[in-house]
Amino acid sequence: MSQKQTKFLIGANVHMAAPGMFPGAVAEAVNYGATSLQFYLGAPQNTRRKPVAELAVPAGLAAMQTAGLSHLVIHAPYIVNLGNTKKPESFGFAVQFMREEIARADALQAYAMPFHPGAHVGAGPEAAIAQIANGLNQILTAETQVSLALETMAGKGTEIGRSFEELAAIIARLDHPEKVGVTLDTCHLNDAGYPVATHFDDVLEEFDRVIGLAKLRVVHLNDSKNPQGSHKDRHANLGAGSIGFDALNAIAHHPQLTQIPKILETPYVGPDKTHMVPPYGVEINWLRSGDYRPEELTALAN
């Protein structure tokens, strides 16, 4: 088996911003001991973006190669809602923005783009699923390189993606289904009602039956502050939530997920909101060693 197949694919959501840009994001991931990384191309709450020429793409790709990082994941902003049929005037803008965001991801040679499918805002899941598929059919082309990875959602409000069946229904309507995969978020799955903590193999088997493991692109590895089925979507640090470290560590090292990047999106820690630091170096070390030491996160927070 090759080194590429056996490398532990673990990463975290890092910053890609001035002055470091893409190389700075790589340096942050390396500092955590990561082998993969994820970032947004701008603030996820808005659509303001810098030109690709200002992102230092060649230097970033070179830095990834030098450090042995792979599977660059670029998260789509969650402000885009293709499922909102009640505001048709915003649909065209959302489609055009996502076309441009995918073009930027392709310029960075990204592997996958996790994407929150959207919300039906009262019109019902069927209407939203049809419109999401319609939007994706206008966004994706035969030339698209990055895999758009529909994300499993917690079921908060009127979110689409609270079940594997909803994601499968979107994929079934696509003109280019080969350009679309899925992101499994462990917190979202737990909050949607799937028994992530106790029967993950059964969850994976169900995913394979409904969607197919070949469609899995990314795992967002997060604990949950709320119990299974709560539909809340509040991430917790590894071991500090209802899923627990042992279950998450088993997922990180699951034999069927060795070629899937696992990305941490766990909360920053600190004594107050103005003095927060990322936990990723500590948590990645726990996953590498299997040695869960919560006191290390407490020390980091203080």
For residue 173, the one-letter residue type is: R
In a domain, 278, yes or no: yes
In a domain, 265, yes or no: yes
> In which domain, by residue range, is 30 found?
10-301
Annotated ligand binding at 265? The verdict is yes
Q: How far apart are CA 36 and CA 13, in angstroms?
A: 10
Strands 275-277 and 269-272 turn out to be antiparallel
Its sign, for the CA torsion 16, 18, 22, 28, is negative
User: Where do runs of H (alpha helix) occur along 161-293?
Assistant: 164-172, 186-192, 200-210, 245-252, 280-289
Annotated ligand binding at 75? The verdict is yes
Structure tokens at 55: 């992102």
Residue 7, SS3 per DSSP: coil
Annotated ligand binding at 202? The verdict is no
Looking at residue 54, which CATH number applies to its domain? 3.20.20.150
Q: What's the farthest any 2 CA atoms get from each other in the chain? A: 52
Q: How far apart are CA 269 and CA 282, in angstroms?
A: 11
pLDDT tens by residue, the chain, 302 residues: 344 447 999 999 999 999 999 999 999 999 999 999 999 999 888 888 999 999 999 999 999 999 999 999 999 998 899 999 988 888 999 999 999 999 999 999 999 999 999 999 998 999 999 999 999 999 999 999 999 999 999 999 999 999 999 999 999 999 999 999 999 999 999 999 999 999 999 999 999 999 999 999 999 999 999 999 999 999 999 999 999 999 999 999 999 999 999 999 999 999 999 999 999 999 999 999 999 999 999 999 99
In a domain, 89, yes or no: yes
In a domain, 77, yes or no: yes
Annotated ligand binding at 101? The verdict is no
In a domain, 86, yes or no: yes
Annotated ligand binding at 275? The verdict is no
Annotated ligand binding at 220? The verdict is yes
Q: How far apart are CA 253 and CA 271, in angstroms?
A: 32
In a domain, 158, yes or no: yes
The number of domains in the chain is 1
Q: Which residues pair with 182 in a beta bridge?
A: 150, 216
Angle, helix 125-139 to helix 164-172, in steps of 10 degrees: 50
- Alpha carbon separation from 72 to 99, 104, 262 (Å, rounded): 19, 13, 11
pTM score: 0.96
In a domain, 3, yes or no: no
For residue 5, the surrounding DSSP H or E stretch is helix 3-6
Q: How many separate helices (H) and strands (E) can be counted in the chain?
A: 11, 12
In a domain, 5, yes or no: no
